[in-house]
Each structure stands twice: as C-alpha cells, then as structure tokens.
C-alpha cells in the first residue's frame, strides 16, 4: 500500500481519534501522526511544532519505516525538555505507514506516573484504528480513481450516442450508425456487411465516390473476414498500394474491421472502416470507439432482423412503418401493406417435422427478397406470417407483387422421398394514408384482409374494404380484445345480477343470474354482443370464465351462512371453450372448497350448443360439479334441431328456453307451441323451466298459462350490481326476522 494519503478528508477522518487519544492518555499535551515522507499528517492541537518536525526529519529511515522490530516503540527527550513516545503504525509489507507521536510536558518523563510501557499498551489499539482508517481511505481513493475511469468511459458512450442519434430499431437506424461512425472517424468508406443475412449498408466520402466499392466488399469478405475468426475486438489491417493509380483506393490504406457476433458468439459479419481521409492511422481510441459502435449494431441487428430469414422482424418493421408515415406529405400519398400467410404449413410440420416447416419459411423469405422492389421493405412477423411495406405505391402495384409471390408457391412444395405437400399462400392488401391512427392499425387491416382470403378458400388475395361488414366486425374484435385483456389484468370488469322470478310457487328462494359488464375508456358499457364476439374469436373465454367464477365466489364468501340458510341461488355462465378444459373444473372445485360458499348456492349455465359440441366432456364436467352439490342449467334450449333427442344425455336441473321463442311468443303460434312442448317435456323429466327476455306483462301472463316455472327479463327486474343485490337480500332477511 502506498502512503499517498495527504487528503483533507483523510486528515479530518483520522483527526476524529483526538478525543479517544486524550481520553486514554489525558496527561499527554499533544498527539501527532507523521507519514513516511516525514510530513505532519495530523496534529491534535493544530499548531506547527518545528521542534517535533525537526526530530522526525532526523529520524533514521529504519525507524521511520519500522524496519527494525526494536525501534517500533521509542522514548526520547527533546531539547526543550519535553518527552515523546513514538509508535510505528505498521503497513501490509515491510514498510510502515508512519509514526504516531505522543508529546508530554517538560520533565514529565521523571514523574512517578509516567510509565512508557503502560502507555504503549494503552495506545496500541489506537494505532490499529489509525492503520485501518488509512487502509479504508486508500481503498476509497482507489474506488474513486476507478470511478473516474468508468466515468470517462461513460462519457465516451454518451458522445457515441450523440454521434449516432436517432438509431431506431430499423434498417435506417443501422444506416445512421454506419454513416455517423464513418464521419466521426473521418474515413473514406464505411460498410456493414452481413453475408449470411444478405445485409449490406454503406456510406462513402466524396473522395471515394468513384471507387469500385463492390470489389472492395468482395476483398473484405474473401480476404480479410477469415482473419476475424475468433476475434472479439476491432483489428487493423494494411492494404498495400497497387500498381494501378487511377483511384484513391489504389494508393494503399488501412482497414479497421470490427467483428459482429451472432447470439452464439460466432463472427457473422463486420463493420469496416476503410482509409482515413487525412491519411492518418487508426488509433487505440478509434478502436475503442468502434467497439462501442459494434455493440450497438449487434443490438439493432438482433432487435430488428429475423434470425431464420434475414428479413426484418416485427419490432424493426413497426419502426419502419412509423418512419414511412412521415413520408406521406400530401393527402393523395398512399402506401400499401401486403400481408402473407403460408397455408398448410402446420401440415408440413406435423408430417415431416419442424425442420421441414422452417425450410419452407426460409424459401418464402428468399422468394420475397428476390422479388422485393426498391420501394419495398419486407418482414417476417412471426411463425409463417410475412408482410411487405410498399411506399408510395398503388393498389395495382401491390396486387401485382402479391400475385407474383402467391404464384411462386410451386417453389414451396416440400418433397421427402415419395411424399410431398404443396404449401400455398394467402395474402391481404391494405392501403393507408397519413390519416391512420397508428402503426398497429395498418398491420391489423392487412391481416384482416389476409384472414378473409383464408376464410374464402385460401390461395387467394383480398383487399381490405371498409364497406365490407364482416371485415369491419373482425377489425372491431381485434381492437376490443386488447381492451378486454387490460380490464382482466386490472380487475376492472363488473358483476351484475338479474332476478329469476317464480311464476307459480310461493316462498321459493330467490334466484339470480350473474352477468358480466365491461366499461370502455369513456365510462360507457361495451355491448355484450361485441364483448363476447371478440372474446370467443380470440380464445379469451376460459380466462374470463375463471375471473367471473372467482369474483362471484369472492363476493358471496362473507355471506356463506346466510346463503345456506336462505337457499338463494346465483347462476354463473360458462362458455363452450371452458367445458372442454379440465383445469377450469378443478379451479372451480378449489374455489368452492376454499371459500366455504355452499355449493347449492351456485348454478352453472351452459348453452345447449356448447354441451352438444362437447357432449362427453360436458357431461363429465356437469356430473363432477353436481356431486359437490352445484346445480346446472341448460341455456338457449330449443335452438338446436335435435334438442329433445340430446336432452336425455345431460343431467341438469333447469332448462332455459331459447330467447328467440320468447320475444315473439304473443304473436307467433309456432313459438308458443315450442315453449309449451319444452315445458311439458321438462315437467315429465322433473326439470324447472326459465323463460328469458320477458319484456312485458302480456308475455309474462302467457308463460304462466303455459306452465313455465320462472321468468327473467326487464319486466321482472333489471340487472344491478351484485354487491347491491346482496346487501338488499341481507336487509330483507334482517327485516323478516324482526
């Protein structure tokens, strides 16, 4: 350890031992510490003591550095008659850090109380404290020096970021990095080369405008790139002059190659800086600068390009869409988005394996690259989905490109032995102008058109048409599904309850159906038809069902005793997507067991169509929960052509008659007959019947006459928040007991 400890912070820190020293040896007049340079590092009285300074100056080196074990503790008398005791403060190695000197008054050494050995024993722990303090100060100093070095490096990085500003995750971001770094270094030619990904981005100084850059690139790839294998940092190579002196490059120049590594650490390309314009050599600082540049380049490549095809990935592509919007200056300016989906690729994967499917994806990526026009930017979005952005292009040009690529699908046929599978391509085109709201809506529109092409038979092309209602509906679903997911994640959905009222029985325990509501960003309720259309299309129903079951049971949990005593029943809807999910059945059982809510207070409603579609699983689902005491209701009964034939297969408690028969029952004899028939069959099977959508007293009267047991609708009670309904039930119970 060095003795470079002459900092005011250290002096103050060591000076804190003054009180300790004087409390241990109160008869001492002063304490001082001198370092090995013989300078007074600290004195307890803060005054100059020239006699003491001169004494230390004349000390032999062996004593000052503590090299003689016998001289680590000395007693001396100064010319003034004062007595001093000297203790060496040891260091790590052979040399000491300095000396601690205790000064006593004139003739103190002759006093009876003066015991040098005792004082030494008292002061030794303080010597250790001083030693540790000096070490800590040196460590702090070392850390500060290291921090300063790191700060210097950070400033370099910040400077680099300023030099290569605006590097969005896109092709143009890489172009800015190449161009800005070349200008910063003052080179004649900068180029990013990734041969495997077929990526080449360059920037040229005016002095090299007429140099044959293709031949330079070939030289870099064929001659210099192999020398980068195994290298991690930039390397400089000398290119000798050639006999031909027609261009500046023939005069000889330096090349700085900065290797680019893939995710596995292999060199896959390089950023090359060729020939400083001022003719000087590359410096260590230049190489360090480029080591930062290539890290940023590697990050952009990984973020912006697909590993399998070399095309831009979704992240980089969306950044490119955003940049392209700035090019739409006039209202008449139009870009085109073309969306591709490979048909039958899953069949290739299932038949020949994942590697075969990957090979088809690579082939299609190559087809896109071969046919991509100059105003086109291509991406592999995910899986077998691709897209091309055509800037300043007409619908006819987009259609021509889509037809050409779809027509090349014969090159996507996969052959293995005597087996082969043909992969076709579906495409969707969506034009857009500067009026679009965001980048995602552009891709959504093109994807919707592509999905429509698949729905209409595949191997075809469709153009997004805002007048096409089916396309608009799908677009609305795509927008709404993100809002549904946000509401689920934020626990912002609402539960309402609508009464199910008995028509004939008195004293029947109240029944309610739990209904789900979602509010939009403006606070208004989203229509249930739109909500469930989006949720079902994008397979969100199992997640929604879990939320509804959990939220309902949580609301009922505090009132378990009341529910068991009163017999109140709440009906919860389950989707067809949930009926086939054993995990949801187990989830419901666990929620009931953990809550203490009586199973008999819960009735689960499943639609007839969902039950028939999953007949075996539906019955297993129903039987399992009925054994626990839950009830089941078959919703929308009568909508199917074979309702009565399937009814005997389901062990349920209630039939909810399809609303289409109830809405016009007072005017349609067929609807009336169907309701009468359902009611008769239900009575034979000892099932309750419920009629939904009862909106007026006339309908209610007719249903009572037909023998329907319960009715539900605005004529008997509108849906209200579940918590309010529960509080009212509790209030009625208290009133009846009073």
Q: Residue 737 in contact with residue 531, Cβ under 8 Å?
A: no
Going from the C-alpha of 147 to that of each of 10, 109, 151, 152, the distances in angstroms are 19, 50, 6, 8
What's the pLDDT at 736?
A: 65
pLDDT digits (tens, 9 = 90+) for 611-652: 877 788 888 899 999 999 999 999 988 876 456 767 777 889
pLDDT of residue 485: 87
Sheet holding 199-204, edge to edge: 199-204, 187-194, 267-276, 253-261, 235-239
The three-class DSSP label of residue 712 is coil
Tell me what the mean pLDDT of segment 672-690 comes to. Answer: 93
Q: Average per-residue pLDDT in the chain?
A: 85
Quick one: average pLDDT of 640-669?
Answer: 83
Q: What is the pLDDT of residues 160-216, one digit of tens each?
A: 565 444 444 455 667 777 888 888 889 999 999 988 666 788 889 888 888 888 888
Task: Flag the least confident range among 37-41, 263-267, 281-285, 612-616.
Answer: 612-616
171 versus 407: which is more confidently predicted? 407
Residue 395 has pLDDT above 60, yes or no: yes
What pLDDT, on the 0 to 100 scale, is given for residue 149?
54
Model confidence over 572-615: pLDDT tens digits?
999 888 887 778 999 999 999 999 999 999 999 998 778 877 78
Tell me: the pLDDT tens digits for 548-578? Answer: 999 999 999 999 999 999 999 999 999 888 8
pTM over 0.75, yes/no: no
Residues 424-440 have pLDDT tens digits of 999 999 998 887 767 77
Q: Return the higher-pLDDT residue of 244 and 23.
A: 23
Statement: residue 495 has pLDDT above 50: yes
User: Which of 91-100, 180-189, 482-491, 686-695 is predicted most confidently?
Assistant: 686-695
> How confident is residue 15, by pLDDT bands cut at 50, 70 and 90?
low
Return the pLDDT at 169. 46
**Section 410-423 average pLDDT:** 83
* Least confident stretch, 235-239, 476-480, 484-488: 476-480
pLDDT of residue 1 exceeding 70, the answer is no
Mean pLDDT of 316-332: 82
Q: How confident is the model at residue 2 (pLDDT cuts 50, 70, 90)?
A: very low
CA distance 642 to 446: 40
Separation CA 87–CA 151 (nearest Å): 40
Contact 402, 431 (CB under 8 A): no
Domains of the chain, start order: 8-140 (3.30.450.190), 171-304 (3.30.450.40), 314-465 (3.30.70.270), 482-737 (3.20.20.450)
Burial 513-538 (b: 16+ CB within 10 A, else e): bbbbebeeeeeeebeeeebbbbbeee
What would the mean pLDDT of 540-554 be, rounded to a whole number? Answer: 93
pLDDT of residue 364 exceeding 80, the answer is yes
Residue 106 CA to chain centroid, in angstroms?
77
β-strand partners of 98:
35, 89
Does residue 326 contact residue 437 with C-beta atoms inside 8 Å? no
Rounded CA Rg of the chain: 43
- DSSP state, residue 570: E
Residue count of the chain: 738
Range of lowest pLDDT (106-110, 203-207, 240-244): 240-244
Closest CA to 423 of 333, 349, 490: 349
Short-list 443, 462, 442, 466, CA closest to 452: 462
pLDDT of 76 strictly over 60: yes
**Runs of H (alpha helix) within 78-199:** 116-163, 171-185
């Amino acid at each position: 350890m060095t003795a470079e400890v002459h900092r005011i912070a250290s002096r103050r820190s060591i000076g804190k031992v003054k009180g300790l020293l004087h409390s241990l040896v109160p008869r001492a007049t002063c304490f001082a510490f001198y370092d090995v340079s013989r300078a007074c590092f600290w004195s307890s009285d803060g005054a100059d003591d020239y006699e003491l300074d001169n004494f230390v100056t004349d000390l032999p080196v062996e004593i000052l550095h503590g090299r003689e074990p016998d001289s680590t503790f000395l007693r001396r008398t100064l010319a003034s008659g004062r007595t001093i005791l000297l203790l060496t403060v040891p260091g790590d190695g052979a040399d000491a850090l300095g000396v601690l000197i205790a000064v006593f008054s004139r003739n103190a050494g002759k006093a009876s109380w003066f015991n040098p050995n005792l004082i030494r024993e008292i002061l030794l722990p303080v010597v250790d404290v001083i030693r540790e303090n000096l070490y800590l100060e040196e460590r702090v100093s070392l850390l500060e020096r290291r921090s300063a070095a790191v700060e210097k490096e950070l400033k370099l990085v910040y400077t680099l970021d300023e030099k290569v500003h605006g590097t969005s995750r896109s092709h143009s971001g890489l172009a800015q990095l190449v161009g800005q770094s070349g200008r910063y270094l003052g080179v004649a030619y900068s180029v990013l080369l990734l041969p495997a990904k077929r990526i080449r981005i360059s920037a040229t100084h005016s002095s090299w405008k007429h140099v044959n850059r293709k031949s330079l690139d070939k030289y870099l790839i064929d001659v210099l790139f192999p020398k980068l294998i195994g290298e991690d940092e930039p390397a400089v190579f000398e290119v000798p002059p050639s006999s031909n002196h027609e261009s500046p490059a023939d005069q000889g120049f330096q090349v700085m190659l900065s290797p680019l590594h893939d995710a596995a650490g292999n060199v896959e390309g390089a950023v090359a800086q060729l020939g400083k314009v001022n003719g000087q050599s590359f410096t260590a600082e230049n190489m360090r600068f480029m080591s930062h540049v290539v890290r940023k380049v590697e990050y952009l490549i990984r973020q912006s390009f697909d590993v399998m095809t070399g095309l831009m990935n979704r992240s980089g592509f969306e950044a490119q869409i955003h940049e392209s919007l700035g090019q739409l200056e006039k209202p008449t300016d139009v870009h085109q988005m073309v969306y591709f989906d490979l048909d039958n690729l899953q069949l290739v994967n299932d038949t020949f394996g994942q590697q075969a499917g990957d090979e088809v994806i690579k082939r299609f990526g190559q087809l896109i690259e071969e046919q991509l026009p100059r105003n086109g930017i291509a991406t592999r979005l995910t899986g077998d989905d691709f897209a091309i952005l055509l800037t300043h292009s007409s619908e006819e040009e987009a259609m021509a490109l889509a037809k050409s690529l779809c027509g090349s699908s014969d090159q996507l046929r996969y052959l293995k032995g005597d087996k082969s599978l043909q992969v076709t391509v579906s495409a969707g085109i969506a034009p857009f102008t500067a009026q679009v709201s965001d980048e995602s809506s552009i891709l959504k529109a093109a994807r919707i058109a592509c999905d429509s092409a698949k729905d209409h038979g595949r191997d075809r092309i469709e153009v997004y048409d805002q007048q096409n209602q089916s396309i608009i509906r799908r677009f609305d679903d795509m927008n709404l599904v993100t809002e549904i997911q946000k509401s689920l994640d934020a626990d912002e959905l609402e539960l309402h309850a609508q009464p199910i009222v008995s028509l004939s029985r008195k004293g029947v325990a109240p029944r309610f159906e739990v209904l789900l509501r979602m509010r939009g960003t403006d606070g208004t309720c989203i229509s249930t038809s739109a909500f469930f259309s989006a949720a079902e299309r994008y397979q969100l129903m199992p997640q929604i069902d879990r939320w509804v079951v959990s939220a309902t049971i949580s609301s009922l949990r505090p009132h378990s005793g009341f529910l068991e005593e009163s017999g109140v029943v709440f009906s919860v809807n389950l989707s067809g997507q949930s009926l086939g999910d054993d995990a949801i059945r187990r989830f419901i059982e666990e929620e009931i067991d953990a809550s203490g809510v009586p199973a008999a207070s819960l009735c689960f409603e499943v639609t007839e169509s969902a039950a028939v579609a999953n007949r075996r699983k539906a019955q297993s689902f129903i039987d399992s929960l009925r054994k626990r005491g839950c009830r089941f209701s078959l919703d929308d009964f009568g909508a199917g052509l074979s309702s009565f034939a399937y009814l005997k297969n389901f062990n349920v408690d209630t039939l909810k008659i399809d609303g289409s028969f109830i809405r016009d029952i007072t005017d349609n004899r067929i609807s009336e007959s169907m309701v009468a028939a359902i009611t008769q069959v239900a009575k034979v099977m000892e099932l309750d019947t419920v009629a939904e959508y009862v909106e007026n007293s006339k309908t209610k009267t007719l249903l009572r006459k037909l023998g329907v047991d319960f009715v539900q609708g605005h004529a008997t009670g509108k849906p209200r928040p579940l918590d309010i309904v529960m509080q009212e039930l509790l209030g009625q119970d208290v009133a009846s007991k009073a």
